[in-house]
Structure 1
Amino acid sequence: MSANGGTKAIVAALLANVGIAVTKFIAFLLTGSSSMLAESIHSVADSGNQGLLLLGGKRAKREATPQHPFGYGRERYIYAFIVSIVLFSVGGLFALYEAYHKWHEGGGIEEYKAVPVVVLVVAIIMESFSFRTAIKESNHVRGNQSWVKFVRRAKAPELPVVLLEDLGALVGLVFALFGVSMTLITGDGVWDALGTAMIGVLLVAIAIILAIETKSLLLGEGAETHDVAAIEKAITEGPEVERIIHMKTLYLGPEELMVAAKIGVSARHSAEELARGINTVEARIRAAVPTARVIYLEPDIYSAAAASAGTGTAAHTAVPGSETEPGDVAGRAGG
C-alpha cells in the first residue's frame, strides 16, 4: 500500500476534523445540544487519532537496531490499535454517557435554533471531501477487492482506519442532524438524546471492528494466497531447488514481508553452487513479490523415505567421517 496515499488521506481528514470540531463546539455552547457535544468530542477524538497515525508512520521509519533487528514497521499497527481504543472510550462511551444524562434531563433547544442545523450541514459537506480523498487513495491499491475485503486484508492500517473513521463521521453527522431536527420540531430533548445514543453505538461498533482487524496484524499475518503462490513458483521454477519442504511468511510491517523456507536441493551441489543458486532464487522471489524484503532459505537434502516414516523431511543419514547431517553440510544461506 502506498504510504504517500495513506498520509495524504490522513492529512485531509485531520484538517477537516479540526475545523469541524471547532464549529461543533461553538454550536454546543450556543444551543446546549447533547448531539452537538457528542459530535464535538467525536471530531476531537478523530483529530487525535489522525495525529497518532501520522506519529506511528514516522516512528515506523526508524532504522533497525540490535535490540529490534527487524526494524519498527509494526509500530504502525500499535498506533492504529491505540486509535481504536481512543475511538471506543473518548468517542463512543462519552456519547453514550451524554445520551443517558440528556435522556433523563430532557429539555429542548431554546436559543440559536438554526445554528446546529447549519453547522451539521456544513460539517457533512467538509467530511464528504475528506471521505472522497480516502476513497480515491484507497482505490489506487484496492484493486478488484470489495470494500469489506479491503478493510479486512489491508496490511497498511492507515487507509482502512481513515475510511472507517470518515464513514462513521458522516453517518454520525446524519444521526446528529436527525436528533437536532426532531428536537427543534417537537421541542422534546429526548430526540436529541436518541441521536446522541445512536452516535455512541456507531462509534463503539467501528472501534470494535478496528480493534479486531488491528489485533490480527499485531499478532502477525502471513502473505495472501496469491503472494504465497507467486513465492512458491519463484522458488521452484528454476533448476536450483528440487522442492519446498516447508515455508512460512510473516509481515514485519505493511511493506516488509519475511519469507523463511526449507528447500530441498541436490546432494551433488558444491557449497559455491548452492550459495549461487540461493542468491538466484532470492532474486526471483523479490521480483515476484517486491514486499518480500527479508528472505531466509535453508537448504536440505529431501528424503521421501524419512518423510513417509514420520521421522522428518530431511535425510538423516550421516555423512561418512562427519558428525553432521547432509543438510547441515551446506548450512544456512539467506539475504
Structure 2
Amino acid sequence: MPGSKLPIYTAFAANLAIAVIKLTAAAITGSSAMVSEGIHSLVDSSNEVLLLIGLHKSKKAPDQKRPFGYGKELYFWSFVVALLFFVLGGTMSVYEGIRHLIEPEKITSPVWNYIVLSLALVFDGYSLYTAVRIFNQQRGSTPFWQAIKVSKDPSSFVVLFEDMADVIGILIAATGIILSHIFNNPYIDGIASILIGLLLMLVTIFLVRQSRNLLMGESISAEELNKLVPLIEHNQNVSSADARLSMYLGPEEVILLIKIKFKNDLPSQKIVESIGSIRQAIQAEHPDYKHIHFEPV
C-alpha cells in the first residue's frame, strides 16, 4: 500500500536502538568504523522522523492557499532526508575515517564490536526484510529495479535504500574491525569508515535524483497517457482527444489536463454530460487521478 508507515516505524525503532549500542561500543573500543556506523544509525533515525512528518503533512486537506492539496510535502521532506543522508551521514563518516588515519587509535576490547555488529545486523536485517516485503507488495509483477525507477512513493524507496546501506555498512565495518584486529593495524579501521561514508554518498546521489524529479513534477508515463485516448474517444460525442499534460502531486494524487474535440453542433448540455461521463470512466480505472480538467477545442 503506497504511503505505508510500517517500514518507517520498523526502521526507526531498529536504528534508534542500534545507534545507542554502536556509540556506546565505540566509546569503549575506540573504533572509528563503529563511530561512523553510530552516526549512520542516528541519521537514519532522524530521517524516519522527517518522512513521518512528510506523510502527515501530505494528508492535509486542500485549502485556499493550496487548492490542489499538500501531496508534495512528502516529496519535499524526502529531498531533505536525502540531503541529511549526505551531510550528516556521508561527510561525517569520511571525516571520522580521515581523522583516524591522521591520528590512528588501536581498537581495544574488539569483542564488544563483534557483539554490537551482530545485533545490528539482526535488527537492520529485519528492518530491510520488512521494507523489501512492503515494496514487493507495491510493485506487484513489475521488475524490482524498474519499480524503483518509476516509484512515486519516497516513503518506500527511501527507507528501502537506507536499510540496504545499513546492512552493507555493517558488513564493511565488521570487515574493517576484524582485519584491523588481525593485522594489528588501526589504519584499516579508518579506511572502513571512509568506505562507509562513500557508500552513503552514493546512496544519496540516487535519493536526491529521485526526490528532485518528484519535487519538480513528474508526468504519468507516456504509455499510460496513450491508453487514456481510446477510453476518452469511446464516448460517442467525442471526435478526438489529446491527453499529454499531467503531473504527480503525491504518490496517489495526479492532476490531468485533457483536450477534447467534440462533434460539431453538439449542445452545451451534451458536452457537460459527456465530460462527466468521461471523468467517471477515467477515475473508475485510475482512482489516483484526483484532478481531471477538460479543455474543449
Shorter-chain TM range is: over 0.9
Q: Is the 8 A contact 2:228 2:243 kept in 1?
A: no
Task: For residues 51-76 of structure 1, give each alpha carbon's deviation from its aligned partner in whole angstroms, at most 9, with x where no partner exists.
Answer: 00001000111111111110100110
Equivalent position of 2:226 in the other structure: 229
Query: SS at 1:257's partner residue?
Result: strand
Equivalent position of 1:76 in the other structure: 74
After superposition, residues 215-254 of structure 1 pair within 5 angstroms as 215-245=212-242, 247-254=244-251
Residue 246 of structure 1 deviates from its aligned partner by 5.2
Query: SS at 1:263's partner residue?
Result: strand
Q: TM-score, normalised by structure 1?
A: 0.86
Does 2:208 align with 1:176?
no
Structure 1 distance, partners of 2:29, 2:232, is: 67
Q: Is the 8 A contact 2:89 2:200 kept in 1?
A: yes
Equivalent position of 1:97 in the other structure: 95
Equivalent position of 1:193 in the other structure: 190
CA-atom RMSD in angstroms: 1.1
Structure 1 distance, partners of 2:104, 2:50, is: 36
Equivalent position of 1:2 in the other structure: 2
Percent of aligned positions that are identical: 31
Q: Is the 8 A contact 1:62 1:72 kept in 2?
A: yes
Does 2:117 align with 1:138?
no
Larger Rg: 1
Query: SS at 1:65's partner residue?
Result: coil
Alignment counterpart, residue 111 of structure 2, candidates 114, 124, 127: 114
Using CA pairs below 8 Å that are at least 6 residues apart, which structure has the higher relative contact order? Answer: 2
Structure 1 distance, partners of 2:42, 2:67, is: 36
Task: For residues 90-149 of structure 1, give each alpha carbon's deviation from its aligned partner in whole angstroms, at most 9, with x where no partner exists.
Answer: 000000001111011123213x22000110011011111000000110111112222222
Structure 1 distance, partners of 2:242, 2:124, is: 52
5+ unaligned residues in a row in structure 2: which ranges?
Answer: none
Structure 1 distance, partners of 2:116, 2:225, is: 50
Q: TM-score, normalised by structure 2?
A: 0.97
Does 2:21 align with 1:33?
no
Structure 2 distance, partners of 1:240, 1:103, is: 75
Give the 4+ runs in structure 1 shifted more than 3 A.
Answer: none
Structure 2 distance, partners of 1:17, 1:160, is: 17
Query: SS at 2:207's partner residue?
Result: helix
Structure 2 distance, partners of 1:94, 1:147, is: 31
5+ unaligned residues in a row in structure 1: which ranges?
Answer: 301-335
Equivalent position of 1:66 in the other structure: 64
Q: Is the 8 A contact 1:27 1:115 kept in 2?
A: yes
Residue 48 of structure 1 deviates from its aligned partner by 0.2
Query: SS at 2:71's partner residue?
Result: coil
Equivalent position of 1:312 in the other structure: none
Structure 2 distance, partners of 1:166, 1:182, is: 24
Alignment counterpart, residue 278 of structure 2, candidates 269, 278, 281: 281
